Structure 1
């Protein structure tokens, strides 16, 4: 009798042992493949150095989509470019900005996105700065006609080009405090003056263009050595350029000292008409539950001051590498594994919002989605996204990840749903379990987020490799989990500003025709 009982217990334990052995083997293979046969550096070179920045509506964006489809095909993974809308087609050309008076000097800067081209000779004109010490809105209106034929400098002259951390390291406490106090006063005076003008940074360029300005010169300093934020122009006919702080400050001082500096701007861009916009979707079909999904998520587009390396080239590399590894070592997943490389995240999560809107069946069958966006660092934060029981399954899946990776990760449960920021918010708004793999800073906000310094050399491949291992294992565990994830929402806290209980965000429709009047 005892022998029979032992035999029955052995039979019951055998499936669990087989599952555990399979899990251990797949996880070990994922880790070994990532560490010994990484494709990350090669993929990063091809995407950032060869294709370059991926501004929505540009040929480079379409090149990137086609490149990704070809890469997936080479790994035996089915992939497609899925059209979701249209955008103003535009291509950056050569930008030359040179001071031609009172002396000759080439300047460091660039034309802003979607700005019309100049002629081959460019625009040469004297620089002027915005008036200070306005008393009334009428004062600005009186000054406005004087910009005709001039290049107008619209950014505040920064009192220092050294980041605060540099001051903190080398300055005396008294000197550092003095600088910060003076800067705060200058910032307040600038804001007050701008308010009296009746315009803001969005509406001012249009008003200057209407008044006959020859062009707009800005400097959107990002509080780091040699680094500026690079976004889009707000003029329709005249050039808008961003100059690095050092050159902008020099020109500003020359204006103030009465030297009447002149610069020549040549900005050769191309208008390409209305262009289709895409998401790239790749798929490894599920063998047991093909209508349930695990989605790997990263936006594919970028701004184009740099090459979009950490925003979001690194997230893209993580998802591509994870898919490559999974196809090789987990080719028959229980659930369907998808990857979404979303277009036009930078203009409002448009690609992922379109996917959620266009594929309610996939959203309904979503087991989990893992999104990575904010920079090159190793993942250090994971939130439950407001799902009440997220701890039950996320902690179970994380348990299979090597401790040298999870020891850096701080978890928050149940957390709260995002209201924007990155593409996981599109899925959370639809009530689907989507999670952000949030990275270590690596000076992301000052040095690489939307800047002219967001380039390949800023990638920390050891951290990106860890993130690919983490993503691949989480995807594998989510696919294999015998249980379907719970979508029960936690009770959200009281909003301190309104005094009312916060509500779950609602799905928002994408902009499907952008940049076109």
Structure 2
């Protein structure tokens, strides 16, 4: 059977056709934006044409404001006329035509590496101090809100594939932690990325999301202050990558209750640093900015795409695969995550084309709003499977077998992270054997975090993210203006699609449901917040 799956994936592939529609035609796909809406409807139509007639859009919740942009121009007027590379930040305003204003350097954190940034109490204190420091000084100014971006020569390759030694190094489990894993609410996380990721491997997804939500609410205080001061615009830059690439997310909130900031732009780091150096030497600097950005809907609904291949003798039991359909808006969302969507749609097509007998129902989920807190997958789980905070479970929880997720760029699948579930490791090792010749062999005994499988894991269901080669995902394309189809490796997606189809097929016909770990407990009652964090 695997040979038939490989034949479809390698000799009749449609992954690049899917990539074209998802990224080149309908990208970017910011959650709730017109691009997302078009992509979601295209996915439903395409799945239906492929014979998967159950394909549908499933609405959830109140997402809030949709946002989209169609153009940007940032020009330095003095001391010398030149064009600056920039991307608007999501959920900030457009300008009323072209605005020209002087620049002031007023960073929230002068040192971009200040470790206090991830401590909520210290962040709140810094925002209060910022308001006292700059009250009455920012009116009609373009505010440089980031610190000067530090640079150093790259010491590692910008494009990487996992070597055999790399994969072997992942095969050891994490050392047990001796200190408390977390507090609830979470008030502080490590600033260093590697330490923060290690912490997030260990704590419940709902607590991670709550921390992010509280951070956003604190930043709303800053936005409210800048609005009160009547700033002309805000300019920032990023610390990711080695330069020349703009990594852009949001400044402002999709929630209808949050303030809408003035036009906010993310500048290429080298261009931003030039402005900072000029201002610090007291050279007058002025910019002209024009941003075409709108809020098409103020009370948009979330929209997931769901499709089923009906099972046979165990049709009430469900095997699921998925990827998030939304993206950020600087590029076309090719590696994050049109690539994952193309893989799971291709896996679904393969299973349908081969007309395989499936004991269990196979379900596809293309998730909305992963980039703003995994909202689509979390809503699906809460609606259909259970509440991760109270652990009140739905009847479908009992008959759910497993969820497979893909969301780490265009790189070829190299294995699976087992989420610490020792019982699935021998199963996955056996299922990977037909793909060892393609470099897929690692059953990594670690948790993964930061994507949609966490929603299922949070209610105790077997859920796994595929391990992929990094390529240039972290150095160039992740949330950046160069996240385009040019960075896609078609052969890698073809291998990943074959493996995903095989995984899902064998999970759908195995005798038993995928082994489960013990259910997580309900979250404890949260502790009172410090006064400075109370809304």
Equivalent in 142, 150, 162 of residue 151 of structure 1 = 142
The aligned residue for residue 123 of structure 2 is none
Structure 2 residue matching 1:380: 3-state secondary structure: strand
Residue 256 (structure 1) aligned with residue 231 (structure 2): no
Q: 1:425 to 1:212 in 2, by over 3 A?
A: same
SS at match of 1:338: strand
Answer yes or no: is 1:274 the counterpart of 2:299: yes
Contact kept, 8 Å, 2:316 with 2:361, in 1: the verdict is: yes
Which residue matches 2:40? 65
Q: Which residue of 2 aligns with 1:175?
A: none
Give the structure 2 partner of residue 445 of structure 1: 474
Report the 3-state secondary structure (helix = DSSP H, G, I; strand = E; otherwise coil) of the residue aligned with 1:93.
strand
CA gap 1:454/1:107 in 2 versus in 1, 3 angstroms: same
Match of 2:96 in 1: 119
Q: Which has the higher contact order (CA 8 A, sep 6+)?
A: 2
Verify the 8 A CA contact 2:57 2:305 in the aligned structure 1.
Answer: yes
How many residues matched?
433
Matched, 1:378 2:412: yes
In the alignment, does 2:104 pair up with 1:128?
yes
Q: Offset at 1:204? A: 4.0
| Post-superposition offset of 1:265 | 1.0
Match of 2:336 among 311, 324, 327: 311
Task: Calculate the TM-score normalised by the size of structure 1.
Answer: 0.78
2:19 aligns with: 44
Of the three residues 80, 93, 110, the one matched with 2:70 is: 93
How far has the Cα of 1:385 moved from its partner? 2.0
Any conservation in 1 of the 2:241–2:474 contact (CA below 8 Å)? no
Tell whether 2:437 aligns with 1:404.
yes
2:398 is equivalent to residue 364 of structure 1: yes
User: How big is the shift at 1:331?
Assistant: 3.9
Question: SS where residue 426 of structure 1 aligns?
Answer: helix
Return the offset for 1:203: 4.9
Change (3 A) 1:227 1:202: farther
Q: Give a deviation string over 1:80-123, Cα, whole Å, max 9, x none.
A: 00001232122212111111222321211021111122112x32
Residues 199-221 of structure 1: CA distance to partner in whole angstroms, max 9, x if unpaired?
98775444333223211110113
- Judging changes above 3 Å, is the alpha-carbon distance between structure 1 residues 324 and 84 closer, same or farther for their aligned structure 2 residues? same
Corresponding position: 1:75 with 2:80: no
Alpha-carbon spacing, 1:49–1:138, altered in 2? closer, same or farther (3 Å): closer
Q: Contact between 1:294 and 1:369, CA under 8 Å: does it hold in 2?
A: yes
Superposed CA RMSD: 2.7
Q: For the structure 1 residues 139 and 397, does the alpha-carbon distance in structure 2 shift closer, same or farther, using more than 3 Å as the test?
A: closer
Contact 1:379 / 1:409 at 8 angstroms: preserved in 2? Answer: no
Shift of 1:306: 1.2
Structure 1 residue aligned with 2:366: 341
Instruction: Please say if residues 427 and 433 of structure 1, whose CA atoms lie closer than 8 Å, have aligned partners that are also in contact.
Output: yes
Shift of the 86–144 alpha-carbon distance from structure 1 to 2, 3 Å rule, reads: same
Q: CA deviation at 1:165?
A: 4.1
77-86 or 155-164, larger mean C-alpha shift? 155-164
- Unpaired runs of 5+ residues, structure 1, are 1-25, 168-186, 189-198, 491-502, 508-517
SS in 1 for 2:136: helix
TM-score of the superposition, structure 2-length normalised? 0.75
Structure 1 pair 138–202 and aligned structure 2 pair: CA distance change class (3 A): closer
Query: How far apart in 1 are the matches of 2:290 and 2:374?
Result: 33
Whichever of the two has the greater Rg, that structure is 1
